[in-house]
Amino acid sequence: MPELSEQENNQQTLQEVHDALGSGMFVYVRKLLQHLPAYDLALILESSTTNSRPVLWQLIDPDHQGEVLEELNEEVRKGILKSMRPEKVAAVAEGMDVDDLAEVLRTLPDSVYQEVLNSMDSQDRARVEQALSFEEDTAGGIMNTDTITIRPDVSVDVVLRYLRLKGEIPEGTDSFYVVDREDKFIGAVSLSSIVTSKPEEVISSLINEDIEAVTVDMPENDVAALFERYDWLSAPVVDEEGRLLGRITIDDVIDIIREEAEHSMMSMAGLDDEADTFAPVVKSTRQRSVWLGVNLVTALMAVAVTSLFEDLFSQLAILAVLNTLVPSMGGVAGNQTLTLVIRGIALGHVGDSNSRALLYKELAVGFLNGLIWAVLIASVVALWKQDLMLGGVIAFAMLMNLTAAGISGVLIPLFLKRMNIDPALAGSVILTTITDVVGIFAFLGTAAIFLI
């Protein structure tokens, strides 16, 4: 019997949980949830209706609830936290990494957030307040303060005895950070170097020069790019004066990359990247109506252009049939270019230094594609309607629109980026408007000149 894929296995578990809930088998559900990792528990909560979530949350082991909160998307987490008392949130937060706890607390209303802080002990409160003092989308906002620091003048034997005395090291530790007496970062020594070096070896001789510190105000996307470029597993975070504040680990970076991918995908449809799949109907309707309203306004612009040629349709009905073809082809071609450029911007491949070269390249691609499909559609239309002039008109419109689509696909995201507007959010709507207007005007305008 073939093994189930991970997705099929998750769906099977989800169905089993929901069936048991529907039958009132709460003890069975509690036992079933006890054996699942935090990510799977979060997946079950996110895949359940809003009415089922409070029941499921109560059945999750309280010792694991903090880990589950870390894995939930923001909208679902808000719904869970809304039903919890501040002291309960504080209890759940015990043992959470500081960066994850800070992210959770940022989703709370100010009044509840203060109550949660007041419910913590002084040490935890101080660590969380420090994490919350940094901007959310920076290195400081995602760093963890749980690090092990060592002095450069001690020996490997001293470090090993300290580690044995401590009994454990922070999760995800691959390096120890070397600092001076003022906590200024000097360098990093890998865990493997500590384990394999002679006991009398001095730490300063084992410092890895390839590991650099990131500044606390560095944007998180730049941090992710550095991890990708240098294959880091962790990186130290320092302030303006070079003092060590904490570290960022690869699991934090993976979350950034995943969130950025979700943001790009959801923004293409005008949706929030933290949107809840099972959000209430009224809330989902309200969120989507905004973007539908924007799309309606842009669609009316295309309708207005079409209405200028209303008399033309009464004289040549075939134009009404063919009128959607040119804008549709332009929209597809433009979105191909738009997606490519947005990806290039996100990866740092596209900037001021090479944008002109990219524009010329996409202009040539658009023109060549326009030429190919203009000849093809002109041949089809000319043979179909036995009208060479009609074929020539639609060929010219196709050439113009695909060329315009290539230019727009490059210029729109570059312009939006310069204006500090997310190209993934607004680019598609603007592009569609341009290809619709150019396509309709080129086709019907040319038809008005040569066919009437």
Whichever domain contains 28, its CATH number is 1.25.60.10
415 and 297, same domain (yes or no)? yes
The pLDDT value recorded for residue 151 is 93
Report the domain count for the chain: 3
Residue 292 falls within a domain, yes or no? Answer: yes
Residue 298 falls within a domain, yes or no? Answer: yes
67 and 159, same domain (yes or no)? no
Residue 255 falls within a domain, yes or no? Answer: no
107 and 188, same domain (yes or no)? no
The pLDDT value recorded for residue 199 is 92
130-139 pLDDT, tens digit per residue, is 778 888 889 9
Residue 50 pLDDT exceeds 80:
yes
The pLDDT value recorded for residue 286 is 74
406 and 285, same domain (yes or no)? yes
Residue 274 falls within a domain, yes or no? Answer: no
Residue 25 falls within a domain, yes or no? Answer: yes
171 and 219, same domain (yes or no)? yes
Among 87, 109, 138, where does a domain finish? Answer: 138
335 and 388, same domain (yes or no)? yes
Q: Give the residue with greater pLDDT, 443 vs 312.
A: 443
24 and 127, same domain (yes or no)? yes
The pLDDT value recorded for residue 241 is 93
Among 200, 232, 249, where does a domain finish? Answer: 249
The pLDDT value recorded for residue 1 is 41
Structural domain boundaries enclosing 372: 281-450
Point out the least confidently predicted range of 62-76, 232-246, 251-265, 376-390.
251-265
256-300 pLDDT, tens digit per residue, is 888 777 766 666 656 665 566 666 777 767 766 776 677 778 778
CATH number for the domain spanning 381: value is: 1.10.357.20
Enter the pTM of the model: 0.67
Among 138, 160, 187, where does a domain finish? Answer: 138
315 and 429, same domain (yes or no)? yes
CB 149 within 8 A of CB 179: yes
53-72 pLDDT, tens digit per residue, is 888 999 998 888 888 888 88
310 and 332, same domain (yes or no)? yes
Strand 185-190 and strand 214-215: the pairing is unpaired
The pLDDT value recorded for residue 35 is 82
Taking residues 170-192, what's their average pLDDT? 92
